[in-house]
Structure 1
Amino acid sequence: MKALKYILLFAFMSSCGPLIYYDYEETTDFTQYKSYSYFDDMETGLSVLDQKRIMRAIDAELQKVGIERKTNADFYIDISSRDIQPTTNSSFGIGMGGTGGNVGGAISVGVPVGGNLLSREITIDFVDLSEGEKLVWQAVCESLYKPNDTPEKRDEHFNKLIGRIFSKYPPKG
């Protein structure tokens, strides 16, 4: 019974992480990129403060791999997001039952798992303008978030999320 509790806890905890999907242009030499900038007309779908948070997190991650932010850049970043319905509707069932003679009965209660969490999909595109606005790298991430978190919690959330997204950049192809 004790082992079952740990297995269920592990399964629940491992299912809570963000889903991240990557794609990139296979013919692109990512070692040529030394600078980046953001598109001026991005419509991120985020609040102004959350947009700044995600941009600071991206700046920090790209700096780690030696790419610096410049006005006239090698590639440009576009960020977009949208709120979505969570993909899973998990519940934990609690049941009770019994029999006596020819009579049987059962009671089951579904308790929703996850509370008041929302899900957001964030897309980050790297576009090379020297090749006619060619999309060269893309990450799409779906993660849970709490809209009423403190600014500190939001910073922490975006830093972790962007860290996970950029763990696969540059692609090793």
Structure 2
Amino acid sequence: MRFLFPLIGLCMLMSCGPAAKFDYDPATDFSQYKTYKWFPTLETGVNEFDNRRMMRSVDSILQSRGFVESETADFMINFYTVEEIVPPNTVGIGIGSGGGGIAVGGSGSIPVGGNKILQTLTLDFVDPAKDELIWQGVAVRKYFTTATPEQKKEHYLKVALKLLQSYPPNK
């Protein structure tokens, strides 16, 4: 029993951050990619504020790792989102009574909190010379519609950090 509570706490902490998956061609030499630029037209599925938040987050992470934004880039970046509304959690209430072989019961549920959005964000890196996808990361995270601008900035930074944790893959 004394091991159960720390295990539950660890599971809860692990579920708080975004989940991310990556894909790339292992034969690609990622050491040749030093400069990047964003696709000129992004159809991301989010508003302009969130576009800028995500782009600034990715820029800051890549630049802190020595990558340089350039018009003559080695790779280009695209991102897009798919959002799904998640209904609120509910708390169930039940009552029952029985005796003499007869049972009576009832139950109901109360919604807790409002709707949340499950946001799937995909980040693509494309080699413009070959016109090929060289790396892709996909992250899934809850996004709260009532978040403040600062919370939204933090949301996109966490997603970008999670996505880019494995880029470049053969370093």
| Aligned equivalent of 2:78 | 78
Structure-2-length-normalised TM-score: 0.82
Name the counterpart of 1:149: 147
TM-superposed CA distance for 1:22, in Å, is 1.0
- List per-residue Cα deviations over 1:7-64 (Å, max 9, x = no partner): 6665555444323221112211111111100010111111111101000000111122
Task: Read off the aligned partner of 1:137 and give its amino acid letter.
Answer: W
Alignment partner, residue 166 of structure 1: 164
1:96/1:18 Cα in 2 relative to 1: closer, same or farther (>3 Å)?
A: farther
Find the residue that maps to 1:73 and give its secondary structure.
Answer: coil
Given that 2:20 and 2:163 are in contact with CA atoms closer than 8 Å, whether structure 1 keeps it comes out as yes
Report the equivalent of 1:135: 133
Tell me by how many angstroms 1:82 deviates.
2.1
RMSD: 3.0
Contact 2:25/2:135, CA 8 A, preserved across alignment: yes
Q: Deviations over 1:119-161 (max 9, x none)?
A: 1221110000112x11000011221101231111111111111
Closer, same or farther: CA 45–138 of 1 in aligned 2, 3 Å: same
Total equivalences in the alignment: 171
Cα distance, 1:15–1:33 mapped onto 2, change above 3 Å: same
Q: Within 5 A, what are the aligned runs for 1:92-107?
A: 93-97=92-96, 99-107=98-106
Decide whether the 8 Å contact of 2:88 with 2:115 is kept in 1. no
Q: Give the TM-score normalised by the residue count of structure 1.
A: 0.81
Q: Distance in 1 between matches of 2:14 and 2:103?
A: 37
